[in-house]
Structure 1
Amino acid sequence: MFPSTSPETAADPAGAPDDDLEEIEVTPIRPALSAAIAAFAGLVGIGLILGAQSSSPGARVPFALVLAGLQVLYVLAWLMATRPPQALLVGGVCLVVAGWSDLQAVRAAEPGLGMLGLIAVTGVAAVVLGQSIRAGDRRRITESLLATLLLVVGVVAIASLSMLSREPLGTQVILVCVASSAVALMVARLVDAVYPKPRLAPQIPRGASGVIFGAMAGTLLSAVLGSYLYSFSPTSAAVAGLVAAVLAVLADLAADYAEAGRQMAGDPPTLWVARHMQGPLGGFALAAPAAYVMTVLFLT
């Protein structure tokens, strides 16, 4: 008299949610790797500071060569991470844009970001034009536009440090902002190695404590440097260092989120060297134009 039910059709309120939920894989945190990334960020920061301090009106080429090496690392790391269509074309255009922007920064009659912005627009247009030749690549232009912007604008942003060194306060601003960025990146990664809590996401091997303490340490260092530099006060140096440090650690964190998103989407993981270099390189690339803007609008 009553309809029979089978195990396949019977409702199981207690067990149904378990069938719909997927287990979230927690990415382990490797302290040695975090310490190695911190060391890499520190080495890049030292190289940028020493290169900027050696720059002078008659000797701008050595610093430009330091930046060129950093630009090559940036292109290789982010190209392997984002995998845009026509990757060889994109990489070639980015290297040409890097050389062009470095040459402009060294030889320009007056320092300024206007021509560097035009170079970035030209580079993005060249990449989009090259990717539109084949039908298969045309369908992916929109989804790869962000990767193109990150690559082309990133190398131009790094070249802005060379242009900044030509400003009256340029070398001192580079010292303050690069030092605060490097220390922020280092402290953030070292804190992740010993206390990666609270976890920002199961797939992200980072903790909120590292981001906070990194930004605080970078700001503190810039304030200390400002008390010793003639053209700065502790307050002005702290503001500049705060902006640079926050942007650096956020760019580093964003690179981890982007990598986790690509893996969750089913893309193969990035080569491990590039995967762990792209965050610190992106941090310095984002802090560089911010330092220039602060010099022009706030510090002069």
Structure 2
Amino acid sequence: MFPSSTPEAGRAPRPDQPSAGASPVSRPGDDEATPPVAVRRSLALSVAGFAALLGAGLVLAAQTSGPGNRLPFTIVVLSVQAFSVLAWTTAVRPPALAVVGAVSAVAAVAADAVAVRSDVARLMPLVQVLLAGLVVAVLGQLVRRVDRVRVTDGLRGTALIVAGVVAVATLITLSRTPAGTQTIAVCLTAAGVALAVARVTDAFAAWPRLAPQVPRGAAGVVGGAMVGTLVSAVLGSYLVTPFTPTRAAIMGLVAAVAAVLADLAVGYAEAGRLMAGEQPTMWVARHMQGPLAGFALAAPAAYAMCKLVL
């Protein structure tokens, strides 16, 4: 008699191997959904307060801007840009972090100077500063071999940091245009209210959850944009021509939606970094970057609305 062609014949199956036709051994937790990240109420309320204070500071500082008196508003804008560089470089941690931080700081100063001193208030000089800063930042990353292999992965983060600080300088350019100061008041008030309402709503009712890893709810995002739009419409009814409640509502809607979506995108990016195994960075910087990103995106949106609607 020849031996059986299957070596396992006659043997009892090992405990760690399923028998033929049997389903794989189930392990505890395989079928359980990942529990959502807990919403920290005190943190959400703190971020809401920071967004409200940041918006109020920018709106009030813009009212001091006038021909020959741009310095106070420029100082406030530069302070916001400094906070942005600190928060975004600490959170994103691009290759050659010190180089990117230094280049972003220089780009912020250059953008503010160009916005104040240019003969005509327009965005093209700021675009040139943005492109120059991005090129210098990437070249600084290519110099070091250890950072060279990470340039492609970090290019998006580097571009966002440089573009973010330059975008805030749009407010200075906007303050030099007709009805620009009123536009800043309408759009940044809408953005600040939207960010604050969204965060306060998340503190008490983060529902429905947009993602288990992101402690944000759709009710806050939608409700914040709606309340911001309503506030801008009310504010527009008190401003003189060419503002009307309808025009102010349209402008506020765009600024509010841009702000809350930028804030939400920062939350997704932070969750992605944590899921990738990156260690969390400075606590304050991580939670400042959402409102800062919201106002950075609301600034060029306000400029565009001023040109398109008014």
- Which bin holds the TM-score, normalised by the shorter protein? over 0.9
Alignment match, 1:211: 221
Alignment match, 1:9: 17
Aligned residues: 299
Flag the 1:29–1:62 CA change in 2: closer, same or farther, 3 A: same
Deviation readout 1:141-196 (Å, 9 max, x if unpaired): 11111111111010110000000000001001000000000000000000011111
Counterpart CA distance in 1 for 2:72 and 2:237 is 29
Alignment match, 1:246: 257
Displacement after TM superposition at 1:17 (Å): 6.9
Please say which of residues 102-111 and 25-34 is displaced more in the overlay.
Answer: 25-34
Counterpart CA distance in 2 for 1:124 and 1:21 is 46
Mapping of 1:1-300 within 5 angstroms?
A: 4-11=12-19, 12-13=22-23, 15-16=25-26, 24-230=34-240, 231-299=242-310
Q: Is the 8 A contact 2:18 2:25 kept in 1?
A: no
The one-letter code matched in structure 2 to 1:289 is P
SS in 2 for 1:291: helix
The one-letter code matched in structure 2 to 1:215 is A
SS in 2 for 1:294: helix
Alignment match, 2:4: none
Flag the 1:142–1:22 CA change in 2: closer, same or farther, 3 A: farther
SS in 1 for 2:143: coil
Percent of aligned positions with the same letter in both sequences?
A: 53
The one-letter code matched in structure 2 to 1:7 is P
Displacement after TM superposition at 1:4 (Å): 2.8
The one-letter code matched in structure 1 to 2:119 is A
Counterpart CA distance in 1 for 2:276 and 2:123 is 37
Structure 1 outlier segments of 4+, above 4 Å? 17-23
SS in 2 for 1:16: coil
Displacement after TM superposition at 1:18 (Å): 5.3
What stretches of structure 1 of length at least 5 have no aligned partner? Answer: none
Flag the 1:19–1:193 CA change in 2: closer, same or farther, 3 A: closer
SS in 2 for 1:200: strand
SS in 1 for 2:169: helix
Counterpart CA distance in 2 for 1:22 and 1:136 is 41
TM-score of the aligned structures, taking structure 2 as reference length: 0.93
Deviation readout 1:106-128 (Å, 9 max, x if unpaired): 11111000010000000000001
Counterpart CA distance in 2 for 1:131 and 1:275 is 23
Displacement after TM superposition at 1:32 (Å): 1.1
SS in 2 for 1:205: strand
SS in 1 for 2:243: coil
Displacement after TM superposition at 1:26 (Å): 2.7
Counterpart CA distance in 2 for 1:220 and 1:41 is 18
The one-letter code matched in structure 1 to 2:43 is L
Flag the 1:132–1:60 CA change in 2: closer, same or farther, 3 A: same
Counterpart CA distance in 2 for 1:87 and 1:22 is 39
Flag the 1:236–1:128 CA change in 2: closer, same or farther, 3 A: same
Displacement after TM superposition at 1:10 (Å): 1.5
Counterpart CA distance in 2 for 1:88 and 1:237 is 41
What stretches of structure 2 of length at least 5 have no aligned partner? Answer: 1-8
Flag the 1:134–1:14 CA change in 2: closer, same or farther, 3 A: closer
TM-score of the aligned structures, taking structure 1 as reference length: 0.96
Counterpart CA distance in 2 for 1:92 and 1:269 is 22
Counterpart CA distance in 2 for 1:5 and 1:123 is 65
Please say which of residues 160-169 and 25-34 is displaced more in the overlay.
Answer: 25-34
CA RMSD of aligned residues (A): 1.5
